[in-house]
Structure 1
Amino acid sequence: MSWSRLGLAGLLALVLAGCGGMNVQDFKGREPRLVIEDYFAGRTLAWGMFHDRFGNLRREFEVTIDGTWDEAKQTLTLVEDFVYADGEEERRVWTIVKTGPDTYTGTADGVVGTAEGEAQGNTLNWRYTFALPVGESVWNVQFDDWLYLQPGGALLNRAVVSKFGLTLGEVSLAFVKPEKLSAAAGNEPMQTAAAE
């Protein structure tokens, strides 16, 4: 093999290695530590949006999440009630099983098969296939979901949605506990369309 071909092969290997994306292990030891069964116990509020791959805002929504942790079964149940800006409402129920100190599996309406998750430090990476209605058809799209716990208690979420390896768009969410909102507003509870 000539030196030029060897150099080209090496460059290609570096480019492909750089396309590997983030690794949840890179967040090991970061604080505050994210333990989802603790964070999502009780009520959590969230606000989110979906941007398509061109950066256009396509949807906005609010979510009220009620979480229950069953210690004996090592199972977290999340009841998510979505209210979209156009008035559409949707409920999704997640059943998440803790399978190890830092690993989880999950099922929910619309999820194809089982979601796989791993937490390290302040971060959770959650990957799954979702059956997304598009017009008269349903597309099986992949979610690469990253959640980052912040020092003030907010949980930031960025999910890349793709099909056949091509990015379709991104979902961004901010999760907050109601008591944190009350404290930020000078003990005046904030109202949301999704809250009861």
Structure 2
Amino acid sequence: MPNARRVANVLAAGVASATATACASSSSLEQFQAAPRQLVLEEYFLGETTAYGLFEDRFGKVRRQFKVDIVGELEGDRLTLTEEFFYDDGERETRIWEIDVLGDGRYRGTAGDVTGIAEGQVSGNAFNWKYKVDLKVGGSIWNVGFNDWMFLMQDDVLLNRAYVTRYGIEIGQVTIAFRKG
């Protein structure tokens, strides 16, 4: 029976962890509607932006750190973001987002490694962006979900916290700070 108790304890801890994660990532956009700063995605990312970030696994261990140089161009209602990633281990990667501005703070987009369509909504200073990515992990490709929450702060800083899931279970979080100029 000691093994049964151990299994029960592990399962209980897992359920508690999943519940806490769900609560932490379940912000409502409406709560940011009256924020003193209003985020307009296509204005913020127009031109050059630099970002710094890291990926933490589900245990809180930092697995990767990176810098991103971003160039944003707006043509009509389409925002193109060219992102150049520079990882601390020397790896480099390019992602090009094609984001359609739909009006009423709604956005839809695609990128080379994104499966399906990314969808997002702005309210006040907050932007929630959801999508799935084919992510290279070692010698494998994992299809993971991203639930990004971005917040426009003072001095043109945009903070992003992304919850990364696989099979519906959070496997880590990405934290990124964007800075204009």
What are structure 2's unaligned runs of at least 5 residues?
1-18
* In structure 1, distance between residues paired with 2:126 and 2:154: 12
Q: Which residue of 1 aligns with 2:136?
A: 133
SS of 1:26's partner is helix
Counterpart selection for 1:109 from 107, 112, 115: 112
- Equivalent pairs counted in the alignment come to 160
- Runs of at least 4 residues off by over 3 Å: none
Q: Which residue of 2 aligns with 1:95?
A: 98
Counterpart selection for 2:177 from 174, 178, 181: 174
More strand as a share of residues: 2
The residue correspondences of 1:40-189 to structure 2 (distance < 5 A) are: 40-70=45-75, 72=76, 74-178=77-181
* In structure 2, distance between residues paired with 1:98 and 1:83: 28
What are structure 1's unaligned runs of at least 5 residues?
1-14, 179-196
* In structure 2, distance between residues paired with 1:155 and 1:21: 19
AA aligned to 1:127 is K
Q: Rg bigger for which structure? A: 1
SS of 2:43's partner is helix
- Alpha-carbon offset, residue 22 of structure 1: 1.3
SS of 2:31's partner is helix
